[in-house]
Amino acid sequence: MDTLKSMSQASIITRADLPSNVTAEAFDKLFNDLKNKVENNTEAAGIALNDLGTTWNVIQHPISDDSAQLLKGLLNMSGEHVSETEAKWKAVLSNILEKDNSKKENKLFTEQEEVFIATMMGIQNCDGGKAAGIASSYELLDSKYRYQINLSKPLSAMDEETESKKIKAVAFLKEFMKGQPIDASTDAIAEKLVKHVNENLNELSIIIVPWIEDDSFWTEEYALNKLGALELLKIVNKEEIKSVFSQPISQAIQKLITSQFSGTNALMKELTKVDDIKQGSHLSIYLKNLIGHLVGVSQNVTFDRHTTVLYDELVVRDRDNVLALFFKYVTPEVMVNEITRVFNDDSGEITAEAKSALKIFLPDDKFWNGTSLTKLGALELLRTLEFVA
């Protein structure tokens, strides 16, 4: 739970973080070019849009028929504060604007136009619906379009000092490992580490002790023993895994969790005891306001004027009851299955280099089936990253 919470803690996005290719003018051109194409090719556009599962009225309504002009207004914001919706909308548009806009053979719409249409299909008419649609579109973005920001909690001065010592210890251990033969056994490396640390104990103890304070790692003469050295090697291994995999695995877990807030899925059907759910975007807003900050989805509360559409069965449930049902659908087994899928998929969410690196960090045969990560391997990765105990 703490790891999930930390995914939504005090994430600050500045104007400098926003994509530079997104402007109100670029959005106008994107929409008007598509509008002209549809109006000049009415019959062909109707067929093409129908093949995509929509109509032109659905696509243009949140833009042309919105008196508040929310979507365009988000592109004209200024000042220091950047709202979550503004940041996500600009990231979504950046993804669209970078897509290929050249004409495709036997197709009316370009790749850029099709992605724009698919995005607008998910954005509803009211402000709350638009924000929910933007948030859902953002979670589906490739990692290069998502904001690379620090999602960790701010540390106290004492914690900062301890963390600084740990970082120095990891740097020392990484440097030490560079001088070890590739084929050296863990035991042999541990013995060399014992010797090296104890020869330089006065200098190194201040950065190493915060990692291994337990008496079992030290001799009676306060020298590092082999057990302590093995523990240090485990720690540097763990830190290496975190540095490589924290971001892609966190994003995969966040996508999985965010999908539970769609407003019309199995979780919401159980919460409302309704099969044919209406006004799903408003149910999604309510659910995020209630438990979003506890599961790493959002730290903000969104005001929604349309609470009258909420189902009584949902509203009468207390937070603990809703959380219990939420974790019925987001279990360690579900996370393991998702990480196994993401890791073994060739979509590029996990790079080939990262996959090769993990085999070095987790060499045990039980974690692998050829080059594919097994469920046991995915579980070990999630444990290392502290998503599961």
* Residue 129, domain member (yes or no): yes
- Is 294:8 a contact under the CB 8 Å cutoff? no
* Residue 95, domain member (yes or no): yes
* Residue 212, domain member (yes or no): yes
In whole angstroms, what is the distance from residue 37 CA to residue 151 CA? Answer: 42
Tally of residues, the chain: 389
Do 140 and 78 sit in the same domain of this protein? yes
Do 30 and 126 sit in the same domain of this protein? yes
Do 112 and 210 sit in the same domain of this protein? no
* Residue 231, domain member (yes or no): yes
Do 311 and 280 sit in the same domain of this protein? yes
Query: Angle 127-139/226-258 helices, nearest 10 degrees?
Result: 140
Choosing from 91, 122, 145, the residue where a domain stops is 145
Do 163 and 122 sit in the same domain of this protein? no
* Residue 124, domain member (yes or no): yes
Interior CA angle at 332 toward 327 and 335, to 5°?
A: 100
Residue 220's domain spans which residues? Answer: 157-239
From first to last of its 389 residues, what are the pLDDT tens digits of the chain? 555 555 544 456 788 889 999 999 999 999 999 999 999 999 999 999 888 888 898 888 888 887 667 888 888 887 667 777 888 899 999 999 999 999 888 889 999 999 999 888 877 655 556 777 788 788 778 777 887 653 334 445 566 667 667 777 877 887 888 888 877 788 888 999 999 999 998 888 888 888 888 899 999 888 999 999 998 888 877 777 777 787 788 778 888 888 888 778 899 999 999 999 888 888 888 888 888 878 877 656 677 778 888 889 999 999 999 999 999 999 999 999 999 998 898 876 777 777 877 877 787 889 999 888 999 999 999 888 888 87
* Residue 58, domain member (yes or no): yes
Do 194 and 208 sit in the same domain of this protein? yes
Do 337 and 324 sit in the same domain of this protein? no
pLDDT of res. 257: 86
pLDDT of res. 150: 37
Do 291 and 224 sit in the same domain of this protein? no
* Residue 245, domain member (yes or no): no
Do 229 and 276 sit in the same domain of this protein? no
Do 122 and 166 sit in the same domain of this protein? no
Do 184 and 270 sit in the same domain of this protein? no
Do 318 and 337 sit in the same domain of this protein? no
* Residue 253, domain member (yes or no): no
What's the domain count of the chain? 4
How far is residue 286 from each of residues 262, 281, 368, 388, measured CA to CA in Å? 11, 9, 41, 27
How far is residue 177 from each of residues 133, 148, 153, 166, 225, measured CA to CA in Å? 48, 29, 30, 16, 18
pLDDT of res. 3: 57
